[in-house]
Amino acid sequence: MIETGELVLLISPEGKRYLRTLVPDTTFHTQDGLLHMSEAALAGFGAVVRTHKGKPYRVMRPTLYDCIKGVRRATTIMYPKEIGYILLKLGVGPGRRVIEAGSGSGGLSTALAWMVGDNGRLYTCEKRPEFYELAKENLERVGLVHRASRFNIDIADGFPEEARGADALFLDVRTPWDYLEQAADIICPGAPVGFLLPTVNQISDLLRALENSPFEDIEVLEIMLRRYKPVADRLRPEDRMVAHTGFLVFARHRGLDVQEELPHVEDVAEVPQ
Amino acid sequence: MIETGELVLLISPEGKRYLRTLVPDTTFHTQDGLLHMSEAALAGFGAVVRTHKGKPYRVMRPTLYDCIKGVRRATTIMYPKEIGYILLKLGVGPGRRVIEAGSGSGGLSTALAWMVGDNGRLYTCEKRPEFYELAKENLERVGLVHRASRFNIDIADGFPEEARGADALFLDVRTPWDYLEQAADIICPGAPVGFLLPTVNQISDLLRALENSPFEDIEVLEIMLRRYKPVADRLRPEDRMVAHTGFLVFARHRGLDVQEELPHVEDVAEVPQ
Amino acid sequence: MIETGELVLLISPEGKRYLRTLVPDTTFHTQDGLLHMSEAALAGFGAVVRTHKGKPYRVMRPTLYDCIKGVRRATTIMYPKEIGYILLKLGVGPGRRVIEAGSGSGGLSTALAWMVGDNGRLYTCEKRPEFYELAKENLERVGLVHRASRFNIDIADGFPEEARGADALFLDVRTPWDYLEQAADIICPGAPVGFLLPTVNQISDLLRALENSPFEDIEVLEIMLRRYKPVADRLRPEDRMVAHTGFLVFARHRGLDVQEELPHVEDVAEVPQ
Amino acid sequence: MIETGELVLLISPEGKRYLRTLVPDTTFHTQDGLLHMSEAALAGFGAVVRTHKGKPYRVMRPTLYDCIKGVRRATTIMYPKEIGYILLKLGVGPGRRVIEAGSGSGGLSTALAWMVGDNGRLYTCEKRPEFYELAKENLERVGLVHRASRFNIDIADGFPEEARGADALFLDVRTPWDYLEQAADIICPGAPVGFLLPTVNQISDLLRALENSPFEDIEVLEIMLRRYKPVADRLRPEDRMVAHTGFLVFARHRGLDVQEELPHVEDVAEVPQ
């Protein structure tokens, strides 16, 4: 029995995939006829339901990978190979509060909202109204929009106050070096930040800006994924592959200044803990 | 103020990193003198505390990446580049129930336990007592052991009943093709499974076994990560890189058989929901 | 002044490229009108000649890369990235005698014939008549066919006697392990051999066969080439790349057996040198 | 019977490799005792000769790969993976005249001198006396120095007149953009040029300079080589690999200007051919 509001991946006999949130007593108009969502709910994950024309559709529980693949895109979207690594480097996980700018088509937003859970929060900022809308729609389709605070703002004016003290921040904007001060101001001291940059010139520009910033522990890298044709007796890589999505840069806020006077345990013994 | 039980990353003036769970009124013996953990708790993340010899230590909130890097290893451990992708393909996230075998040193266990949150569950199986112990210690150090049910068993005898209906499964064992039946039996219908294999011969063997199994939607791939020296005016890749960790194989349980008779909505209208 | 018989690369105003051997008093029918080859000869490399319609064509001296790109292909042809490495590993160069099987479309043949010069020799064997013809045509077009002895034979029956004592051998056939004996027999003792194999299963099969052969010093590798968009201010890799052409395997004939009785200098002092 | 002056690769019982030019009536002092070169000459390639202590040494004919591996280096030397591709792109081959600057340790010089044969010529320029010497020694050891005209000069003052009209040019210097004019002046019109650059900033600088130069047809790329452990039943890539040697840039001289008046065949009919 699938609960109302849960996300469902419907796979047609031809392998076409549809992501839908389960709303009982609704129907889904497939190419193969009508499909009753209540029937899908009752059948449960892993089951097969039939359209009114008798065509079998599989009911699957989508993975995060399925959700990212299902994003409708108006921009280049980040690939799972980058997103997975970003999650680890930013320490994303249940309960964390994460800021992202810009939202773009909402590919990374989907992953961040998925991983922070209902006790965490995603703050996603996007300047252009059309992407602001698109990211919202993509988050809605996968049932994750309630975990996101969305802002149609220009981060040049600062990040939203609501996001203050966030645990991590990711910038996928054209000139991230323009926003390092805003970034350092909004996150909690010591928090990790990440950047996606298509060109090497941008990496150089960002590295120069990071030198005079409160960020340290810098890592620059790229991730390549190569698929193989899954044929046991003629195993070989696929002929072509994606050669470049973007370069990833990571850094960590340096935290409070060492020069600052720090309280010692003796001095603070009376402070209630 | 850092809460008791939270994980803390302490960074020495020389950049050495220590992962510790915060227990108040304890001291941490550093190479630079004693450090009061209550003082660290009071200072908070991003702050600097001093040892009794006056040496400044940064108090940082560790990311998942930090935790995985901190794993004490007796085996080859999976790299973050693979782990990130696995999380997406298996649909790991808050509330999910995930099975893993073997535990190894606990590198992937750490990531799985981190991401499932307190409402999810990790079931991790390991045959060899020494790794069973090591994975436990590594999960303990990062404060995630309470999210894991650990089993010192041989999965040839089946996975633990407690794990039945799990949302996903990952096999990092030498002969995964020997356990496809057990895997299909324990997970929920339609669930994703993943495998890590060092050699191409193993891929072929696994692909052959998958052909006659209830798994489909097979993906074989490898992930390469290349770092750059972070120097703005002389930007270039590092001279050497890891060329191979292992190949990843993913598949999805086919779900219930299409041939099976399926209930139609009309028939089940009286079933209490 | 370009000499008769020399190879010429003609580049149209739109960048189309044509490889032609210079034969005086002939005309080349371009899309832009007739072009007098005597005029091209007179103008020389680097010059521009005009068709009878006045369209300018550049007259360039083709590189080996140009010649390989110009090969008309009915098979997958080897890429320059592999060919360059093969030349070095096989010690190909002016004066060397090299065997190749099969000829395929003649891509590698072109490079081998180019490099051995007029004092060296290429022996190229091909079983299928249609490829035997195609390779000939491709060698003819680039004016290198006179350096090649071509054989329309099945190497299962042995390599041609004419090739005996060759300095190197390359096998681009589906089951190279079937021909190791023939290979060891025809080349000079100690000579290098190379193989191109599309699948990993073939590598394993070949490695097994090499274990019980007079070949040693085995190297297995693959070469990847990634191009960048040549834009100074937005420098980045191209979006997609070739992920796989084939794996290369190299070995060296072990030479005469150590156990054999060898002449000592004292014994042979009288031999005229 | 190996001829005097030919290059010989001697392999010790432990697999140590020595490159020597064959000079009769000399002895080679190995770790395993004296070895008579006349004996090696008599035995021939592929044979085994014994030191005066009875230790067997194999006598092999070195490949170009062996020679490059044998270069004594004081600089980063180019790898065979790059060298092979350079040969194709520059159209190097028997009879060609090729310019190179700087000589460095002589790794690429070795390949160029090998491939141009006795009818071609290498012009190699090096500013620093110590590398000028080193490259000479490395070319001498492999018996190729007679094919090279070597110049201890600063190419800022122009390339040597002797090299005028060369067929190709390769620049492995820190600021190649400073020498584009000199390069365009010395090579024949339409000739290919190549560059090796370690950093991406250098690529950008070079691309900018090329925009205002008589060079076109620009290609920027990098080559990666991954080796596999040659074990049939446990076939897998090696754990680590070289991630970066340098980026390669290629271009072609545009040739004479289209605007120039060109002779037509009618006008030149009397010119003796």
Instruction: Count Cβ–Cβ pairs < 8 Å, chain C vs chain D.
Output: 271
What is chain B written as a DSSP string?
-PPTT-EEEEE-TT--EEEEE--TT-EEEETTEEEEHHHHHHH-TT-EEE-TT--EEEEEPPPHHHHHHT---SS----HHHHHHHHHHTT--TT-EEEEE--TTSHHHHHHHHHHTTTSEEEEE-SSHHHHHHHHHHHHHTT-GGGEEEE---GGG---GGGTTBSEEEE-SS-GGGGHHHHHHHBPTT-EEEEEESSHHHHHHHHHHHHTSSEEEEEEEEEEEEEEE--GGG-EE-SEEE--S-EEEEEEE--S-TTS----TTTTTTS--
Q: How many domains does chain D have?
A: 2
pLDDT band at B258 (very low <50, low <70, confident <90, very high): low
Q: With an 8 Å Cβ cutoff, are B42 and A263 in contact?
A: yes
Q: What is the CA radius of gyration of chain A?
A: 22
In a shared domain, residues D76 and D49: no
Residue of C204, C223, C228 to mutate, testing the B interface (most B Cβ within 10 Å of its Cβ): C204
Which tokens is D236 given? Answer: 């897998």
Distance CA D40, CA D57 (A): 9
Question: How close C108 comes to chain D (CA, Å)?
Answer: 12
Q: Is residue D29 part of a domain?
A: yes
Q: What is the ipTM metric for this complex?
A: 0.92
Q: Which residues of A touch B61 (CB under 8 A)?
A: 91, 167, 188, 190-191
C142-163: pLDDT as tens digits: 999 999 999 999 999 999 999 9
C191-229: pLDDT as tens digits: 999 999 999 999 999 999 999 999 999 999 999 999 999
Q: Is residue D105 part of a domain?
A: yes
Statement: residue A121 has pLDDT above 60? yes
Percent of chain C with pLDDT over 70: 94
pLDDT of residue C270: 39
CATH of the domain at B153: 3.40.50.150
CA distance to D8, D62, D142, per residue, from D19 (Å): 6, 8, 7
Q: What is the mean pLDDT of residues B175-187?
A: 97
In a shared domain, residues A51 and A70: no
Q: What is the mean pLDDT of residues A185-205?
A: 97
- Residue from the list C200, C233, C235 with its beta carbon closest to the beta carbon of A236: C200
CATH of the domain at B14: 3.10.330.20
Statement: residue A104 has pLDDT above 80? yes
Q: How many Å from the N-terminal Cα to the C-terminal Cα in chain C?
A: 46
pLDDT band at A256 (very low <50, low <70, confident <90, very high): confident
Q: Is residue D111 part of a domain?
A: yes
pLDDT of residue D75: 80
In a shared domain, residues C56 and C139: no
Statement: residue A263 has pLDDT above 70? no
Q: What is the mean pLDDT of residues B111-133?
A: 98
- List the subunits that have 3+ CB pairs under 8 angstroms with C: A, B, D
Q: Is residue D215 part of a domain?
A: yes
Distance CA D108, CA D81 (A): 11
Q: With an 8 Å Cβ cutoff, are B80 and A92 in contact?
A: no
Pick the more confident residue, D260 or B243. Answer: B243
In a shared domain, residues D129 and D172: yes
Percent of chain B with pLDDT over 90: 89
Tens digits of pLDDT across chain D (273 residues) = 899 989 999 999 998 999 998 998 999 999 999 999 999 999 999 999 999 999 999 999 999 999 999 999 888 879 999 999 999 999 999 999 999 999 999 999 999 999 999 999 999 999 999 999 999 999 999 999 999 999 999 999 999 999 999 999 999 999 999 999 999 999 999 999 999 999 999 999 999 999 999 999 999 999 999 999 999 999 999 999 999 999 999 999 998 765 554 444 444 333 333
Of D62, D82, D102, which residue constitutes the final position of a domain? D62
Statement: residue B264 has pLDDT above 80? no
In a shared domain, residues C215 and C174: yes
In a shared domain, residues D48 and D70: no
Percent of chain C with pLDDT over 90: 89
pLDDT of residue B265: 43
Which tokens is A235 given? Answer: 């195993």
Q: Is residue C52 part of a domain?
A: yes
Of D43, D62, D81, which residue constitutes the final position of a domain? D62
Q: What is the mean pLDDT of residues A60-76?
A: 92
Q: Is residue C73 part of a domain?
A: yes
In a shared domain, residues B249 and B168: yes
What is A140-200 written as a DSSP string?
HHTT-GGGEEEE---GGG---GGGTTBSEEEE-SS-GGGGHHHHHHHBPTT-EEEEEESSH
Q: What is the mean pLDDT of residues A128-152?
A: 96
Using beta carbons and an 8 Å cutoff, which residues of C are at the interface with B? 200-201, 203-204
Instruction: Count Cβ–Cβ pairs < 8 Å, chain A vs chain D.
Output: 7
Which tokens is A138 given? Answer: 């993509």
pLDDT of residue B268: 39
Statement: residue A145 has pLDDT above 60? yes
Q: D78 pairs with which residues across the strands? A: none
In a shared domain, residues B54 and B71: no
Statement: residue C269 has pLDDT above 70? no
In a shared domain, residues C26 and C144: no
Q: What is the mean pLDDT of residues B67-78?
A: 89
Which tokens is B193 given? Answer: 């499974």
Of B20, B41, B62, which residue constitutes the final position of a domain? B62
Q: Is residue D260 part of a domain?
A: no
Residue of B nearest to D236 (CA): B199
Q: Which residues of C touch D63 (CB under 8 A)?
A: 88-91, 168, 192
pLDDT of residue B75: 80
For chain C, the average pLDDT equals 92
Q: Is residue C134 part of a domain?
A: yes
Which tokens is D59 given? Answer: 């006598």
In a shared domain, residues D168 and D244: yes
pLDDT of residue D264: 45
Q: Which residues of C touch D260 (CB under 8 A)?
A: 48
In a shared domain, residues B51 and B130: no
In a shared domain, residues C45 and C80: no
For chain A, the average pLDDT equals 92
Domain housing A209: 66-253
pTM metric for this prediction: 0.93
